[in-house]
Structure 1
Amino acid sequence: MRFEPRRHTSDDERILPLINVVFLLLIFFMLAGTLSAMDPFEITPPRSASSGEDNPRDIVVLVGADGRLALDGTPVAEADFEAALAAQLTESEGARVRLKADGHADATHVVALMERLRAAGVTRVLLLTIRDEA
């Protein structure tokens, strides 16, 4: 009779595959959990009966209730807005501008911003709203 020498395995060798699987699951859920970017400040758009479609090439301008501005998710100072918008427009030829204003934002501020967009060369502005189901 021939006996093979028995190999002694340590606890570390048995738990290593489990650690690898848990680590891969952790990475998967970290990546899957960041599918959409958050706005830099809270916006509650007004309600409307119309609906529209999103285009990933569009430039998004956010207007907060307190008048803060953000361009494609990055907060922008009021004085630097035109320069940042001009840079975005040169990068994205033919892109539309989607204006996402808070429902409590001052209407005169939003209209003045739309005039600034027109002066910067924007030909089409889409005002984003929440679809009213009623």
Structure 2
Amino acid sequence: MTFDEPPRTPRGESIVPMINVVFLLLIFFLMTAQIAPPEPFEVTPPEAEADMPAMVELVLHLSDAGGIAFGGIGGDGAIAAAAEAGAGACGACDLPPLTLRADAGVPAARLAALLPALSAAGFAQIELVTVAP
């Protein structure tokens, strides 16, 4: 007596490689994540009053040719416009810090000549944007 073998059903794709990839990604993200240390104690930040103005970020641009611009205003009026924007945001208080975005090709003499003009406009703190090597 000979019996025919029952027909075999085709095997589907194995999901083992997909599970391996998922675990490799999980391990990668766990190894590269920075886990912040817990705070030593709970801190409740103070609440601001409704009439306090929001901090304004003032950004002055300095091109490699030595031109300056604030917002859409360029040339000599840029420093005055930045001072007006800072004074309008705070009223009677000191001007907020000025962020200076200078091109890497600006000569140091031009940058040094600009600082007294910014100080005369009322800026007590000037932050120069740099790029880490």
* TM-score, normalised by the number of residues in structure 2: 0.50
- Distance in 2 (alpha carbons) for counterparts of 1:68 and 1:75: 11
Q: 1:125 maps to what in 2?
A: 126
Q: 2:60 maps to what in 1?
A: 61
**8 A contact 2:83–2:123 mirrored in 1:** no
Q: Provide runs of 4+ in structure 1 moved above 3 Å.
A: none
Unmatched tracts of structure 1, length 5 or more = 1-55
Post-superposition offset of 1:130? 0.9
Structure 2 matches for 1:30-109, cutoff 5 A? 57-71=56-70, 73-78=71-76, 80-93=77-90, 94-109=95-110
Unmatched tracts of structure 2, length 5 or more = 1-54
The change in CA–CA distance for 1:83 and 1:75 in structure 2 (over 3 A counts) is closer
Post-superposition offset of 1:69? 1.0
- Distance in 1 (alpha carbons) for counterparts of 2:81 and 2:119: 15
Structure with greater Cα Rg: 2
57-66 or 92-101: bigger deviation: 92-101
Identity of aligned residues (%): 25
SS class of match (1:70): strand
Post-superposition offset of 1:83? 2.6
Amino acid at match of 1:70: A
Q: 1:112 maps to what in 2?
A: 113
How many residues of Structure 1 are paired with residues of Structure 2 in the alignment?
Answer: 75
Q: 1:8-34 CA distances to partner (integer Å, 9 max, x unpaired)?
A: xxxxxxxxxxxxxxxxxxxxxxxxxxx
Structure with higher RCO (Cα < 8 A, 6+ apart): 1
Post-superposition offset of 1:92? 2.6
